[in-house]
Structure formats: structure tokens, C-alpha cells
Amino acid sequence: MLHRFVLISALVSIALLSPAAADPRRGEQNDARQDMRAGKVKSLREIEANIVPRMRGMQYLGPEYDPTAQVYRLKFIDRDRVIFVDVDGRTGSVLRQRG
């Protein structure tokens, strides 16, 4: 009985320490990669190359990806406020900017 408990505890610990559990965005990254390989959306690099230079003076915090809408959300910080730029993954055009 004790061996079973130790084994189950060890397996749960391993599962919790796996890279997928450690980074919840890992699913987003896989979704974006699959959609890009299937030709559904532009690559994140293409999107960033177009948008990041437009956000002069702001620090780029990183992307999120919504596979259902096929929209990238790029996050920036400008002094004390966060700016979100939603970009159509298919066309690369800015859908909205708010912050």
C-alpha cells in the first residue's frame, strides 16, 4: 500500500513539473505553429516584424494566440500602462489596439 502511494505521488510530481504544466502558453504555441504550417495564419515572426517597429518607445512583453479566432495579441508596456494590439493572423492587419 505504501509503495502504491509513493509511486502515485512520484507520478503526480513528474506530471506537475513537466514543461507543459509549467508553461500554460505551450498549447497556444502549438496551436499557432500548426495553423502556420497549415497555411492558415502568418508566422509570429512576420507579425512581430510588422507590428513591433510601429510601437516606438514601448517595451514588447510578448504574444498570445487565440486559435479559434486566429488572432495574435501582442502586449507592450508604455511607462505604466499595458497596450494590447490584436492582429489578424491570416492577413497581419491590426484589428484593434487598446490600453
* DSSP assigned state of 3: H
In this predicted structure, the answer to whether residue 80 has a pLDDT above a threshold of 70 is yes
Instruction: Please state the rounded mean pLDDT for residues 25-32.
Output: 78
pLDDT at position 11: 40
Burial code of 28-56, b = ≥16 C-beta within 10 A, e = fewer?
beebbeebbeeeebbebeebbeebeeebe
- Give the per-residue pLDDT at 28: 79
4 vs 39, more confident:
39
Closest CA to 86 of 72, 76, 99: 72
Q: Where are the domains of the chain?
A: 2-98
> Is 8 a residue whose pLDDT tops 70?
no
8 A C-beta contact, residue 75 and residue 63:
yes
Mean pLDDT confidence for 50-69: 96
